[in-house]
A and B are shown apart, each in its own frame.
Chain A
Amino acid sequence: MIFNVRVLSNKVYKCWLSYNRMETESAAPETLNSFALSKSGTAAQDLQTDNGLDQGPLFFNYHEFAENFYAEVESPHDPKEHDGDHNICVTHFPNVFVPKDSAEFHSTRIVRIPRRFDVTLNAPYFSNCLPGWEPAALNSEEEGKTFQAHGIYDNDQLYGYSSVSPLSWYLSQSEFAKIVTPINEILGRSYGIYTWHNIVNLVLDVLTIGCWYVISRHFFDDPTQQLERYISQVNNSPALKNHKIKIISPRRSGYLSVRIEVICLYFLVHFTNFFTSLVGFSDPKAIALLML
């Protein structure tokens, strides 16, 4: 078992409890997908191996984590321990793309979109699931698929019980998938092994003993530049612009000097690993929540 027992979180413990409970109740294997196997594909695999279930690990957003010591929204100055059923799920993170002492850092957050590996392993492929829609996401009947704040944690930030992030206020699952799909397609082409670009570059590089590498950089764009153009195009589309949403590549982390003068709450979407987007918005709901 790869999992270290010492670091088993409450959430994983809940997986075991839920799984055992379902076993007792003779639940169908497919009902394990969403919650019982969440947060630990490894644990899930051990469970299925031990019990002969014909199912491998499931995809989830590995960036999120649970916390049980937080203040409730109704009593923001009273942080305390909560039971396992009321852990908050941390789905947005500090904005590490702007200086720590900048105003943007304090008014922006990052929602990370993880890479997934069940479609292709040859190129970076980002999750096309809006956070909370992954096969093994933590779900909350109380919250549904829209972010609802229940706890205050980590410098007065707001979190819910489920994997659903505040991004759910502004983008639907289909809208999000429409944005991410072309990114994955471009990356798939850029990182293709048997593409003319890759093979010709390599052959010419070898034949010219490296001279081609020096010359070609001045005449040909890197294929990933197409991603930059797409991101720029999406940033100007009404779907994102109306919500003041922007996508920024991490290759240009300096690009985060965003020329937005409206002081509001921003959320940043981060396509990890290492192709980044930024989502910002100004919304009365967000500001109201911030005031809590």
Chain B
Amino acid sequence: MTSFNVRRQRQAYPLETDSESGEDHREESWFKTLYKWIVTIDGDVELSSERGYRSIPLVSNYVFFLGGRVRSLRSTQHIWLLVLLAIVAPMVLFSIFEARKLWRTSLGYKPLVFFFYYFWAMACLFFIRTATADPGALPKNIHIAQLRNNYQIPQEYYSSISLPTPKSNVDPLSKIDIRYCTSCRIWRPPRASHCSTCGVCVMTHDHHCIWVNNCVGQRNYRYFIIFLIGTVLAELFLIANCSIHIARRSSQVPVTILLLVYACLSILYPAILLGYHVFMTGTQQTTREFLKQVHTKNPVFTKIKPAPHNPFEQGTFIKNMGSLMLQPQGPSLLGARAKHRSGDWRFYNIPEQHSFQRL
């Protein structure tokens, strides 16, 4: 039985109560192993060493499926299922009522049909990848300062620290601000942020997207952008296909009209969102940084301006876009498939400090 796997935050208790050695293993029934492989919701406090997907749920709000290959979040409204339905439904209708008729014409419409399916598949698969991939979650408890007073956090760790950047020599106001995450007990790298919905800190945190039920961060931002591009292009080809069909047969096309109206309406949100991300990345900002800069949660009709003294500024719009949209994913730092030994501190729940302990 593990000595380190403790109950979730609600039931966290001091680590000192765990005293057993972590090397012994408990026999587990094959049924439970299979069940946990299919879906891991709460983690398992009884296993000593396992793959990440059995332990990460202990310290975060992630749930895992298929042995950690797919992740989602618990205790959230699963709007992403509606989004998936909204992506799949037009393709099904198009396949039943439109595709065959357009494909069989000898007027060269086959590429239009092909590209609709291609970009639809791109949108659908990259939506699933955005929703189920590791956004760049950072491990916990890496920077524990001390053992005394129940892992007390020093006063200095509550401060925002400013450090020099490559531009500090020419611009003294160019600085990197980093903070210590008192929940995750780590010094967050620049642009990382703690997501209370996911319960972890995420690298280059863009935003927590309720539509994909996952954070959009360093490791899945490119998937998110490809999903938006794929959606917009698929909708454009759907509009083109439906328009051609209506032009050729002006009667008996109710489903075609329905699809055309649906495509015209549903292209708006991803297109606007994609436009926002183009301009935000072009001005070297993440969504979170942009909202912080404009001091609003409703950015509609807000002009996107470059942030002053931005140390990440690359000089040109295109370079800024490239540096964010093409940023390398890097390895998963809290891998759901990676094995860990028993007593791994990353899966501890260290109680948060009371406010009076901070003074």
Contacts and interface: CB of A to CB of B under 8 A. Distances in A.
B174 interface: yes
A56 interface: yes
A100 B312 contact: no
A234 interface: no
- Bin the interface of chain A by size: 35 or more
B321 to A, nearest CB: 11
Interface string A45-73: 10011000011111110110111000000
Interface stretch (A16-24, A143-151, A237-245, A247-255): A247-255
Contacts of A169: none
A93 B163 contact: no
Interface in A67-87: 67
B333 A192 contact: no
Interface string B66-110: 000000000000000000000000000000000000000000000
Q: Which 10 A-B pairs have the closest CB atoms?
A: A99-B343, A41-B162, A56-B172, A65-B154, A56-B168, A118-B164, A96-B345, A65-B156, A42-B162, A2-B160
A8 to B, nearest CB: 8
Contacts, number: 211
Interface residues of B, number: 76
Interface of A: 2-4, 6-9, 11-12, 39-42, 44-45, 48-49, 54-60, 62-63, 65-67, 90, 93-94, 96-102, 112, 114-122, 124, 153-155, 190-195, 198-199, 202, 206, 209-210, 222, 224, 250-251, 253-254, 256-257, 270, 272-274
A250 B139 contact: yes
Contact of B168 (A7, A63, A118, A193): A118
Contacts of A9: 154-156, 159
A224 to B, nearest CB: 5
Given A99-B341, A154-B147, A192-B328, 8 more contacts: A42-B161, A48-B172, A62-B178, A96-B142, A99-B342, A101-B22, A209-B118, A272-B143
Interface string B123-166: 00110010000000011011111111000001111111111111
Contacts of A115: 189
Contacts of A12: 159
B173 interface: yes
Contacts of A39: 156
A273 B187 contact: yes
A257 B158 CA distance: 33
Contact of B172 (A4, A55, A118, A253): A55
B326 interface: yes
B289 to A, nearest CB: 14
A94 B141 CA distance: 11
B308 interface: no
| A interface secondary structure, majority | loop
A45 B162 contact: yes
Contacts of A121: 165-166, 176, 190, 311-312
10 contacts: A45-B175, A62-B161, A65-B157, A96-B141, A100-B4, A115-B189, A193-B322, A194-B326, A273-B188, A274-B139
A57 B164 contact: yes
Given A117-B190, A198-B328, A254 B155 contact: no
Interface in B300-359: 311-312, 322-323, 326-328, 330-331, 333, 338-346, 358-359
A40 B161 CA distance: 6
